[in-house]
């Protein structure tokens, strides 16, 4: 499947690089990224074990940068809670006893506005057996479709940048540089603890 997806990913790379450089709102950039991942999803779906009603992945941590949470919030009419810094995976409490707050009746209640982390979850096995959470300390060994390129694009879109002035100790001149830092990132449960309510 990863081989079949390669030509589409190449087209997406060109398109997403153009979007990264475009002078458009971040919401539009994230939406374009979601659209590209959904195109990949349409290719992967017939070969994936993922089906409506299977919700194992709705019980694992879902990392979301604050800008993506803000877009989701605007789309669903719920202001996300403030998350400061980067929540480490081991600090997140997920599992069958703590599902995504948007899981309702075995399905995603914000499917059209779900985050990138959810859009790119494709179990490429023949069934969902490997998705079952059997050990809280060990991640499932699911053969996922490789979507790391899209995760990288989201990280690039949401990285915080600022211009800094620095003194060059060798020349004594002041120069400017761009400094980048990670955005606040948290689990979807932190941003939306009560889901839509």
pLDDT in tens, 57-67: 899 899 999 99
Is residue 138 assigned to a domain? yes
Domain assignment present for residue 196? The answer is no
For 22-70, write each residue's pLDDT tens digit: 899 999 999 999 999 999 999 888 888 888 888 988 998 999 999 999 9
Does residue 78 fall inside a structural domain? yes
Kindly state the DSSP code that residue 72 receives in the 8-state scheme.
Answer: H
The tokens 């603890």 sit on which residue?
Answer: 193
The span from the CA of 157 to the CA of 160, in Å, is 9
In a domain, 156, yes or no: yes
Question: What is the predicted pLDDT for the residue at 123?
Answer: 84
Angle at CA of residue 195, ends 191 and 197, nearest 5°: 120
Number of structural domains, the chain? Answer: 1
Q: Tens of pLDDT along 75-132? A: 999 999 999 877 777 778 888 899 999 999 999 999 999 999 999 988 888 888 877 8
Structural domain contains residue 91: yes
pLDDT digits (tens, 9 = 90+) for 149-197: 899 999 989 987 667 787 888 888 888 777 777 778 999 999 999 998 7
- Per the structure, the complete domain to which residue 40 belongs is given by 2-191
Tell me the two tokens of residue 36.
């590209």
Quick one: angle between helices 2-21 and 26-44, nearest 10?
Answer: 170
Indicate whether 82 belongs to any domain.
Answer: yes
pTM score, two decimals? 0.83
Helices (H) and strands (E) in the chain, counts: 6, 6
Q: Is residue 93 domain-resident?
A: yes
In a domain, 197, yes or no: no
């Amino acid at each position: 499947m990863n081989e079949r997806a390669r030509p589409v990913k190449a087209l997406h790379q060109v398109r997403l690089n153009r979007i990264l450089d475009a002078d458009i709102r971040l919401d539009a950039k994230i939406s374009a990224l979601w659209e590209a991942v959904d195109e990949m999803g349409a290719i992967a779906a017939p070969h994936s074990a993922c089906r409506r009603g299977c919700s194992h992945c709705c019980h694992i941590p879902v990392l979301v940068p604050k800008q993506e949470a803000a877009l989701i919030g605007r789309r669903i009419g719920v202001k996300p809670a403030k998350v400061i810094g980067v929540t480490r995976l081991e600090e997140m409490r997920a599992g069958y006893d703590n599902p995504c707050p948007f899981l309702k009746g075995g399905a995603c209640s914000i499917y059209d506005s779900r985050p990138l982390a959810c859009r790119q979850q494709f179990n490429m096995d023949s069934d969902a057996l490997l998705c079952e959470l059997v050990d809280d300390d060990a991640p499932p060994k699911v053969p996922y479709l490789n979507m790391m390129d899209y995760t990288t694009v989201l990280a690039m879109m949401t990285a915080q940048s600022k211009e800094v002035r620095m003194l060059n100790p060798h020349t004594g001149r002041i120069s400017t540089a761009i400094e980048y830092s990670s955005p606040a990132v948290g689990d979807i449960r932190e941003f939306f603890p009560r889901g839509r309510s």
